A and B are shown apart, each in its own frame.
Chain A
């Protein structure tokens, strides 16, 4: 089955800098990828998704990049703000509606 790994369990950035969170997946046939943000005491919040027929997708202050050749996914957050502090998960869909999650990266924003 699919396995998903993240490169760093923690990431600390200065307020205003750009953040990049990375993720690797194992199944080259994977077709759908999602990034979630989870704040303390809350469920994962959908940030952005991307399908395998794309290599880049942008949202508000966020960009997801997909490199299918090396099976790598990244989330870029522009001009990081204190409210961006959270745990970020990438997830890969394995079969209908079954998401396989990475272990998460805790993003800390320094003032």
Chain B
């Protein structure tokens, strides 16, 4: 069974631009979560989607948004990019909600110049 697929793997943007990252969950998985990983802050939860609805949100500004489609695929968008947004963005999927292991993709490495 294919794992979680994230595209693109690498992205370079400049300050003020916006970016959209894509995530395809494991087939049959209905929950998709997004995390930001940086050397200083570690892995931090951004938001989670289930059945096209955002169920949970972390402490990130409104510039960070996401959505989930009817086939469970998800996208996240970051607007007005700042240097501090440089990070590895990870997507994870799980079968359902609650007490379910989340399986991660290999992430999108976003660099802001």
Binding site for B on A (CB under 8 A): 31-32, 34, 36, 41-46, 49, 51, 89, 91, 93, 95-104
Distance in angstroms between the alpha carbons of A34 and B104 in the assembled complex: 13
Determine the residue in chain B with the shortest Cβ distance to A104: B42
**Would A46 and B102 be within 8 Å (CB), given that A97-B48, A97-B94, A98-B56 are in contact?**
yes
Using an 8 Å CB-CB cutoff, how does the interface string of B90-113 with A read, 1 for contact, 0 for none? 101010011111111111000000
Since A46-B101, A89-B43 are in contact, a sample of 19 more A-B pairs with Cβ atoms closer than 8 Å, ordered by chain A residue number, is A31-B99, A34-B101, A41-B106, A43-B92, A43-B104, A43-B107, A44-B43, A44-B90, A93-B99, A96-B56, A96-B97, A97-B50, A97-B55, A97-B94, A98-B45, A99-B35, A99-B43, A101-B42, A104-B42
- Min CB gap A86→B, angstroms: 13
Interface secondary structure of B, over-half rule: strand
Q: Which residue of B lies closest to A101 (CB)?
A: B43
Any chain A CB within 8 A of the CB of B58? yes
A100 B97 Cβ-Cβ under 8 A: no
Taking the complex as formed, is B74 at the interface, i.e. its CB lies under 8 A from any CB of chain A? no
Shortest beta-carbon contacts, A-B, top 4: A43-B104, A101-B43, A97-B48, A43-B106
18 contacts between A and B (CB under 8 A): A32-B99, A36-B104, A41-B106, A42-B106, A43-B104, A51-B99, A96-B98, A97-B31, A97-B56, A98-B33, A98-B56, A99-B35, A100-B45, A101-B43, A101-B44, A102-B42, A103-B42, A104-B42
Shortest distance from the beta carbon of B58 to any chain A beta carbon, whole Å: 7
A97 touches B90 (CB 8 A): no
Q: CB-CB < 8 A to B92: which residues of A?
A: 43, 99
